[in-house]
Every structure is written in C-alpha cells, then in structure tokens.
C-alpha cells in the first residue's frame, strides 16, 4: 500500500472523518462511557479498536464472497463474534473494567461506527486498507472519547484517571445532561477549527495545482517555440 494512501486513511480515521466528532457515529457509548472516567474510555476504545480491526479484516477478505442480499446479517454475525470474544476476554482478565463498562461492551455490536465502516469501506476495499481504516477509526474514537472523558472527569468529579485531584466539582458534568453538553461543545469546537484549516489548505492546494499546470504549459509552449 502506498504511503500516500496510508496517510490518507490515517488522517481520515483520526481527524477528517473522526467517527465521534465529524461523522457523529456511536453516540450512545460516547455519552455513557465518558461519564465513567477516563480509564473506562481507554478500555472501551481498546475494545472498539479490536472489534473494528478484526471485523474489517474478515469482511474485507470476504467482500467478494458475501452476496449483496445477505450482507447485513453476515456483517453483524462477524461483528458480534468479535464483540463476544472481547467481552469474554475482559470478564476473565479485567473484571473491574468489565463490571464498569457492563452493558456497553455488548452494545458495541450495534455501534454505528463498526457497521458503518464495514458497509462503506471494508466491503469494497482491499484487506490492508480496511485493516488500517479500522485501526485508525478506532484510534480516532478512542482519542475523542478519552479527551471528553478527561474533561468530564475533571469537571464533574475533580479526579483524573481515578486519582482525586481536588474537591471542586460541578456535578452537572457527571450527569447525563452534561454528557450532551460536553459532546456538543467538542463537536462545535472541533468542526470550527477543522473547517478553518481545511479551507486554507484546499485553497492553497488548488492554487498550487494551477501554478504547476501553468508552468507545464509554459514549458511546453517554449519547447514548441524552440522546436
């Protein structure tokens, strides 16, 4: 896979098409898990990365085999298998995290991010691309979730990664309404910055492209003149 393509996929997953802040997919775990503390966010993110990578891998491998009519049941079956594996593994080796995440671990099956990427990317892209896409989408999800989790934990509980920092807390942020507000603010701020940066970059890129074209034309015409 070319480096350019890799960079494209990596940037898409983490920034340009960040599932939480740009695509606004998987809001249910976002709202719930960010309130449980930053460590739970990391754990949730790790689980989602695992499921994304492996389900994208398998679906991409089978993309020419699965007929169109039954693709949804097949995708869900594959995703559910990996979610169950993660869940069993966590229950065996990380009981505390498993108990904290509880039902949200099982809900990864219907997390829009995973089915969305399977449907829109893995089902018509080569294996390595799909795996990278899954990995970076998962990383993007984890990063945004952890950042929001940190903000909510500091403001709502006065703690960070479980360590109590101070006693000042705004309980609103630990509650459900606070989840919505934090999420909304993150989306707003991220998109404002993103749009500003994107506009500048696109304009610059377009002008560069035209300049290169013009130079080529000029070079061609001088060649023609000389000839």
Partner 1 sequence: MIDLLLRIGHESFQWTTVLIALAIAFGVSLLLGVLILVINKFTQVKEDPRIKEVQDCLAGANCGACGYPGCAGFAKALVEGTAKLDSCGQTPVDKRIEISNILGIEVGGNAEPTIAVVSCSGGVKCRDKYDYQGYGDCVSQNLLAGGRKACEVGCMGAGSCVDACPYHVIECREGYAHIDPDLCRSCGLCIQTCPKSLIKRVPVSAKVYVACSTQCRGKDVTTKCEAGCIACGKCERNCPTGAIHLVNNVPMIDYSKCIHCYKCLEGCPRKCIKYVHPEDVPASSETAEQAK
Partner 2 sequence: MAEKTKKSANPTLIAAVKAVAVLVCICVVCVALLAVCNEFLYIDDEERFSRAMRDVYSGYVPADGFEADLTHASAPTGSIEKVYKSTDGVYIIEALGNDGYQGGTVTLYVLINPDATIKSWAIKENTLQSYIARVPSDAGTKWYVGKRVDEEFVKDMTGATVIKTTDAIYNAVKAAAWYCLNTESVKNELGLIDKEGLARDAVKQLLGDGYADYDFAPVNVSSATVDGTKSVADALSDDADKLSYLFRVSKDGDVLFAYVYGEETLKIVAVKDGEILSKSEGVEDTDAIVANILANRIYTFTFGSYNAYAIITNAAEGVYTVAGLKVGTVPNTYVLKVTIVADTDGKGKVEKIELTTDGDGWEQGVPQDNANKLVTSLKGARLDNIDSLYTDNKVSGATQSADLIRAAVQAALTAFDASQASAD
* Structure token digits, residue 137: 């989408």
Q: Which stretch binds partner 2 (CB under 8 A): 85-93, 115-123, 149-157, 202-210?
A: 85-93
CA distances from 83 to 48, 89, 107, 139, 142 (A): 8, 10, 9, 17, 16
206 binds, among partner 1, partner 2, none (CB under 5 to 8 A by kind): partner 1
Of 93, 224, 225, 226, the one binding partner 1 by CB under 8 A: 93
Is position 168 an interface residue for partner 1 (rule: CB under 8 A)? Answer: no
202 binds, among partner 2, partner 1, none (CB under 5 to 8 A by kind): partner 1
Residue 125's Cβ-side half-sphere holds a number of Cα atoms within 13 Å equal to 19
Is position 73 an interface residue for partner 2 (rule: CB under 8 A)? Answer: yes
* Interatomic CA distance for residues 131 and 58, integer angstroms: 9
Binding mask of the shown chain, residues 46 to 85, with x at each position contacting partner 1 by CB under 8 A? -----------------------xx--x---x--------
> What single string gives the DSSP state of each residue in 151-194?
HHHHHHHSEETTEE--S---GGGGSHHHHHHHHHHHHHHHHHHH
* Interatomic CA distance for residues 143 and 136, integer angstroms: 10
Residue ranges binding partner 2 (CB under 8 A): 36, 62, 65-67, 69-70, 73-74, 77-78, 80-81, 84-85, 88-89, 91-92, 95, 99-103
Residue ranges binding partner 1 (CB under 8 A): 69-70, 73, 77, 92-93, 199, 202-203, 206, 210
């Amino acid at each position: 896979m070319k480096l350019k393509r890799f960079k494209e996929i990596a940037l898409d997953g983490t920034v340009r098409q960040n599932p939480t802040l740009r695509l606004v997919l998987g809001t249910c775990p976002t709202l719930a898990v960010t309130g449980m503390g930053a460590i739970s966010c990391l754990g949730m993110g790790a689980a989602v990365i695992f499921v994304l990578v492996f389900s994208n891998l398998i679906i991409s491998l089978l993309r020419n085999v699965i007929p169109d009519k039954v693709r949804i049941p097949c995708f869900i079956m594959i995703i559910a298998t990996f979610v169950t594996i993660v869940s069993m593994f966590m229950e065996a080796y990380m009981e505390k995290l498993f108990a904290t995440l509880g039902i949200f671990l099982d809900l990864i099956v219907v997390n829009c991010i995973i089915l969305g990427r399977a449907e829109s990317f893995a089902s018509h892209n080569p294996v390595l691309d799909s795996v990278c896409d899954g990995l970076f989408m998962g990383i993007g999800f984890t990063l945004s979730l952890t950042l929001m989790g940190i903000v909510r934990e500091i403001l709502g509980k006065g703690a960070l990664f479980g360590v109590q920092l101070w006693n000042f807390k705004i309980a609103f942020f630990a509650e459900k309404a606070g989840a919505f507000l934090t999420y909304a603010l993150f989306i707003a701020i991220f998109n404002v910055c993103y749009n500003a940066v994107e506009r500048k970059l696109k304009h610059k890129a377009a002008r560069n492209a035209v300049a290169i074209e013009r130079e080529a034309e000029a070079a061609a015409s001088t060649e023609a003149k000389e000839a």
